[in-house]
Amino acid sequence: MAQPSLSIFPPQNKSCRLCVEDLRFLACGPYTFFLQKGECLGLSGKSGIGKTQMLRAITDLIPHTGKVLLDGVSSTAFPAPLWRSMVTMVPAESFWWYDIVGDHFSAEFGADSLQDKLAAVGFKEDVLNWQISRLSTGEKQRLALIRGLCNTPSVLLLDEPCSALDGYHTTLTEGLILNYLQHNNASVLWVSHDHEQLQRVADRELCVEKTGLIEKTVERRPVSVEE
Amino acid sequence: MDVIALSAWDLSIAAALVCALSLLSLFLSLGLEWKILIFSCRMTAQLLFIGIVLRYLFASGSLPIVLLMATVMLFAAGREVLARQNLRLKGITGYAIGTGAMFVSSFSVSLIALVVIIGVDPWYTPQYAIPLLGMLLGNTMTGVSLALDRLTDQFYKERGVVEQRLLLGQTWQEASSDIRKECMRTGMIPIINSMAAAGLVSLPGMMTGQILGGTPPMEAVKYQILIIFLIAAGTGFGVISAIWMSGHYLFDNRHRLCLERLSGSRLRKR
């Protein structure tokens, strides 16, 4: 294997969590990349290039060709709902269908663990009793992330998870996600327009183009974290 | 007692009332004046035509002709269901779902009524079969078209919620359960309301017709009760099966919402 961008291709070892091979959807692709266990991969690219649609294709919400493998098993081998609860996408805009926040959270999810996560992004206990209509965009965004974690997915597909948050809550949310990654050995595909943020959280960064991916070198700049 | 025959003159007095309504609509700029006139004429032509057909049908009374008539009625109802929707299920399937739902409910309920309940001999006697099927189809059609119109509209407007629920790992049945239940209710409410009002507010059309035709009121009432039961059952089954089938049609086997299977005037503007 002597390709210039060698790391885009999956390594032949067991640590590969999510493999995306030759993914095409709408008029985009083919995209080939992999995610290792515990890895956070940043995705950037121009608006409208198809980053959101790529996440939707990976979670199998839109028709696509090519393969998506979780721990070596193809998405088609799972029923779609099970696949989506293992490879969970949290969209930039969240939707809510009951009146009360708490009704959207599955009961199987341990109450303690849920409270910990809520506290980690700055919510008090009674948030579960709040009216949806009372929530701000940023509150919805943080709650939607936690709702997505309720299935304890192996892979998180995050579409601009902090786009509506202030600096303080962005830091909390990034902390929660990276913490989840460590404790569950999960992987994250993180779409963001905020280059600084990807520098902070991502192990690698890929730039999405219409017909492929370009690897970006991530320079670790600890200074920017302190700022 | 014989029915007093209506002359063309009698009908034209009633038609004048509709013309007056049309003028009033023009005056109030409701934009309905042509619709009122055109559909009045259409209705008159359809009914006059069916009068001729029925005369022939009753005289012959043969099974193939009754079945042919029933099929024509069914397909006309299917077309009507489709025409009443803002957003339609695309292609032949859209037509087949509405028509299929009405076929399943109206035909089976009519058959039960003819064979088991009324017990008319032979079961396809057109004097019974055709009006019965007509009433069932007419009401089922209203229910099914209301329910389907609401269903497509809701899926289109609430696609964000439906997709969000799918993203959280719900099956399409779970993700769409609220919408589908609501649409089933929408389709059944009219018949439930008309059961509540029957006799108190309105004297149902068939009963009125029978009484005008000289049937003793109690006989007419019994027939009306039978018909309302049949209509309620037929509408309910029709609505449920139509919603069930369109649910299957709007999601694929990977539990994706396929809104590209909808077409309609509202989609073209986007």
Residue A208 maps to which CATH number? 3.40.50.300
Task: Report H helices in B84-216.
Answer: 91-102, 108-112, 126-157, 159-167, 172-175, 177-197, 205-212
Residues B158 and B27 grouped into a single domain: no
Q: What is the model's pLDDT at position A1?
A: 37
Tally of domains within chain B: 2
Q: Are residues B100 and B129 in the same domain?
A: yes
End residue of a domain, out of B40, B60, B80:
B60
Confidence at residue A2, expressed as pLDDT on a 0 to 100 scale:
36
Same domain membership, residue B26 and residue B101: no
Q: Does B177 touch chain A (CB under 8 A)?
A: no
Under the banding of pLDDT at 50, 70 and 90, the label for residue A12 is low
Residue B137 and residue B244 in one domain: yes
Predicted confidence (pLDDT) at residue A78 exceeds the cutoff of 50: yes
Q: Is there a domain that residue A24 lies in?
A: yes
Nearest chain B CA: its distance from A208 CA (Å): 22
Burial profile A154-175: b = 16 or more Cβ within 10 angstroms, e = fewer: bbbbbbbbbbbbeeebbbbbbe
pLDDT digits 0-9 by tens, A87-142: 999 999 999 999 999 999 877 667 778 888 999 999 988 999 999 999 999 999 99
**Cut 0.95: pTM above it:** no
Residue B154 has pLDDT above 70, yes or no: yes
A135: three-class secondary structure by DSSP:
coil
> What is B206-249 written as a DSSP string?
HHHHHHHTT--HHHHHHHHHHHHHHHHHHHHHHHHHHHHHHHHH
User: With contact defined as beta carbons under 8 Å apart, do A57 and A86 qualify?
Assistant: no
Quick one: B39 and B170 in the same domain? no
B89 pairs with which residues across the strands? B262
Measured CA to CA, the distance from residue A63 to residue A57 in angstroms comes to: 7
B55/B67 same-domain check? no
Query: For residue A43, is it within any domain?
Result: yes
Question: pLDDT tier at B214 (50, 70, 90 boundaries)?
Answer: confident
Residue type, B232: A
DSSP H stretches of helix in chain A? 51-58, 80-86, 111-120, 137-149, 167-184, 195-201, 222-226
Indicate the number of domains in chain A: 1
The answer to whether residue A15 scores a pLDDT higher than 80 is no
Q: Is the pLDDT of residue A3 over 50?
A: no
pLDDT above 90 (res A220): no
Write the residue in B161, B178, B254 that is nearest to A95 by C-beta. Answer: B161
Asked whether the beta carbons of residue A147 and residue B171 sit closer than 8 angstroms, the reply is: no
Q: Position B4: which residue type? A: I
Tokens found for residue A10: 């999956």
CA pair distance A89, A97, nearest whole angstrom: 18
Q: Is residue A1 part of a domain?
A: no
* pLDDT score recorded for residue A171: 95
- Provide the residue range defining the domain that includes B56: 1-60
Please indicate, yes or no, whether residues B135 and B225 belong to a single structural domain of this protein: yes
Cβ within 8 Å, pair A95-B256: no
Find the CB nearest A81 among B160, B161, B171: B171
Confidence of residue B121 (pLDDT cuts 50, 70, 90): confident
**Helix A167-184 and helix A111-120: axis angle, to 10°?**
140
Bridge partners (DSSP) listed for residue A215: A206
A12-38: average pLDDT: 86
pLDDT band of B71, cuts 50, 70, 90: very high
Domain end: B41, B60, B79, which one?
A: B60
On whether both B87 and B221 belong to a single domain, the answer is: yes
10 Å Cβ neighbour count for A203?
A: 15
Any domain includes A196: yes
Q: What percent of chain A has pLDDT over 90?
A: 70
**B86, B55: one domain:** no
- Once rounded to an integer, what is the mean pLDDT over residues B200-209? 82
Q: Chain A contacts of B252, Cβ < 8 Å?
A: 63
Please state, rounded to an integer, the average pLDDT across all residues of chain B: 90
Of A62, A81, A96, the CB nearest to B169: A81
Q: Which domain holds residue A80?
A: 6-10+17-226
Q: Which residue of B has its CA nearest to A78?
A: B254
Per-residue pLDDT at B31: 86
How crowded is residue B185: how many other Cβ atoms within 10 Å of its Cβ?
13
> Are the beta carbons of B100 and B246 closer than 8 angstroms?
no
> Is A222's pLDDT higher than 70?
no
B152 and B31, same structural domain? no
Residue A87 lies in a domain: yes
Hey, which residues does A208 pair with through a beta bridge?
A213
Mean local confidence (pLDDT), B56-65:
90
Do B183 and B77 belong to one domain? yes
Q: What is the DSSP string of A151-170?
A: T--SEEEEESTTTT--HHHH
Backbone torsions φ then ψ of B176, nearest 5 degrees:
-110, 5
What percentage of chain B carries pLDDT values higher than 70?
97
Provide the residue type at B101 as one letter: A
- Residue B207: pLDDT band (50, 70, 90) is confident
* Gyration radius (Cα) of chain A, Å: 17
Q: What is the DSSP letter of B2?
A: P
pLDDT at residue B2 in the model: 66
What per-residue confidence (pLDDT) applies to B144? 95
Whether B269 has a pLDDT exceeding 50, the answer reads: no
Please check whether residues B218 and B88 belong to one and the same domain. yes
ipTM reported for the complex, 2 dp: 0.89
Instruction: Tell me the per-residue pLDDT of A134-179, one tens digit each, with 9 for 90 and over.
Output: 999 999 999 999 999 988 999 999 999 999 999 999 999 999 999 9
Task: Supply the Cα-derived Rg of chain B in whole angstroms.
Answer: 21
Q: Is the pLDDT of residue B203 over 90?
A: no
| Position A7 confidence tier, pLDDT thresholds 50, 70, 90 | very low
Q: How close B184 gets to chain A, by Cα (Å)?
A: 19
Tokens linked to B76: 């006309």
